[in-house]
Structure formats: structure tokens, C-alpha cells
Amino acid sequence: MTPHHDSAGRVVVRLDRVSKEYGDTLALDALSLEIRRGEAVAVMGPSGCGKSTLLNMVAGLDRPSAGTITVHGQDLGSLTETGLALYRRRDVGMIFQFFNLIDDLPALDNVALAAQLTGTSARQARRRALELLDELGVADRRNNYPATLSGGERQRVGVARALMNRPALLLADEPTGALDSRSGEQVMDLLIDLNQIGQTLLIVTHDPHLATRCAGRLVEMADGRVARERTLDRETVDRENLERSA
Ligand SMILES: Nc1ncnc2c1ncn2[C@@H]1O[C@H](COP(=O)(O)OP(=O)(O)OP(=O)(O)O)[C@@H](O)[C@H]1O
């Protein structure tokens, strides 16, 4: 797997006093956050604190009510709708809890489509898709439709799709939330491997095990703001996990 190497500087994502209102609800309240190249950041917090809203803003799926979001050197607020659509296809990859695969396309086409949408030829897209499926251990499932894959296999296909365009940033929303614990651990291993070869990750989760295993920094949100941040050092996390399971 060859991750995208960001040449625009150390900071890949910068949110500067970002607010989002939905009617009377203030989902994000002047939130500021930076993610540096190669970091793996996990965002946690109680239901309704704004985690998905944050992810959707960074993914360019929705626009803030106030504040600025810069990703990979681009101010998302300055992009037109077309520009934002291109950004979503090229610069970010997304992994979802329920995979979001297209039911009537085989695994290979689900993955290849992501590149074809950015103008890559069908032949090239299929070649890269097959390489990725191979690296993720599901090449033998390439002709299977999503309904005939296990949850873990579907998520591997989902990860392959997210990586197709070598995104500067990989976003994951409860990536193991719909998986049994064994497949969940395998997807966590995959995320760790990707981060170790330089992929920048932003993960939203309720699962402290996922957060502490995969991330180097934990951001805890409350009421649309960052309530607490801590750097996770491997040795402390491993000791805490051991103590918890003892
Ligand atoms: N499209 C929307 N329209 C109206 N309100 C919304 C919308 N999206 C989110 N909200 C509200 O914004 C707040 C933050 O929601 P968000 O989904 O970001 O929280 P969350 O931390 O991801 O929650 P969960 O952990 O339950 O997924 C909530 O009060 C929610 O009801």
C-alpha cells in the first residue's frame, strides 16, 4: 500500500473555531483542532456531542455555519459545490460502520468505481482495485456481491475503496461497530498498519479499545467542543489494557 505523501506541510487538517447549527441545536461550538501528517486521532464523546457532525464537515459532506476548515492546504469554505465534490473524491477516503457498498456491484467494481469517478480509465482502476483487494487479503472475493461477503470482508472492501485515490486523510466512522470482535480486531490491525506506513487517520468511535489501540491521540468531545485531549503513549496504553483485562 502506498499512502499519499502530503507535501503541503505538517498540518493535514485544521479546524479553526468551527460551529455548526441545526436549527436551535449547536452541534459544533467554535471547535478548533489540528491533525498533523501521519497522525492517528480518535474522537470520542457521549452520543450527540457532535462527533459525526465533525467528521461530515471534514469530509466535505456539509458546510460549517462559521469558522474555517483547511485540509491538505485547501480552505473547504472557498470551494464551489463542484470543487467540494472533487475534494470528497480525491482527498479524503471514508470508512463507514455499515460499509456503504453498492449492493448490485461485485467487490472489485465497488472499489474500482472510486477511481473511475475521478477520471481514471476503467482498466487502470480495476488493476489498482485488484492490487488493493490483494493487499487487504480479499482478492479471492473480487467477484462476490456484498451480500455474499462476511462483515469483515465487506469492511476490507470498504477500506480498499477508501484507499483507491490515495487520500491525504482517511476518515472512519465506527469502523468496527458492526463487526464481531475477531473481524473488528483484524480491521483495527489494518488501520494500525496503514498508519504505520504514513496514512493520516481520523476515527470517530464509542469504543475505547479501538481508540487506544489505533490512535496516537485521543480527543474527547462534549457539547460540540473539545473537552480533553491526550497523547496515547504505547507503553501506558498496553499496560492499561493489560490491567483492564486482568
Ligand atoms: N442533520 C441534522 N439535523 C438536525 N440536527 C442534527 C443533524 N445532525 C446532527 N444533529 C444534532 O446535532 C447534535 C450532534 O449530533 P452528532 O450526530 O454529530 O453527534 P454524535 O456525537 O455523532 O452522536 P452519536 O454518538 O450518537 O452518533 C445532536 O444534537 C443531533 O441531534
Rounded to the nearest whole angstrom, what is the distance from the C-alpha of residue 117 to the centroid of ligand 1? 29
Alpha helices in the chain (DSSP H): 51-58, 81-90, 107-116, 122-135, 151-163, 181-196, 208-214, 234-245
pTM listed for this prediction = 0.91
Ligand 1 pocket test target in 20, 21, 47, 53 with most atoms within 8 Å of CB: 53
Q: Where are the domains of the chain?
A: 12-91+207-246
Atom of ligand 1 nearest to the CA of 174: 27
**Residue 215 falls in which region: left (phi positive, over 0), alpha (psi -120 to 50) or beta:** beta
- For residue 22, report the distance from its CA to the centre of ligand 1, in Å: 9
List CB contacts of 126: < 8 A, sequence separation 6 or more: 108, 109, 112
Distance CA 159, CA 32 (A): 28
pLDDT tens column, 78-102: 999 999 999 999 999 999 998 999 9
Q: pLDDT tens, 129-155?
A: 999 999 999 999 999 999 999 999 999
Q: How far is CA 246 from CA 184, 209, 239, 241, in A?
A: 21, 15, 10, 9
Average pLDDT over every residue of 212-226: 96
What value of ipTM does the predicted structure carry?
Answer: 0.96
- Report the top-level CATH class of 12-91+207-246: alpha beta
- Does 204 score more than 50 pLDDT? yes
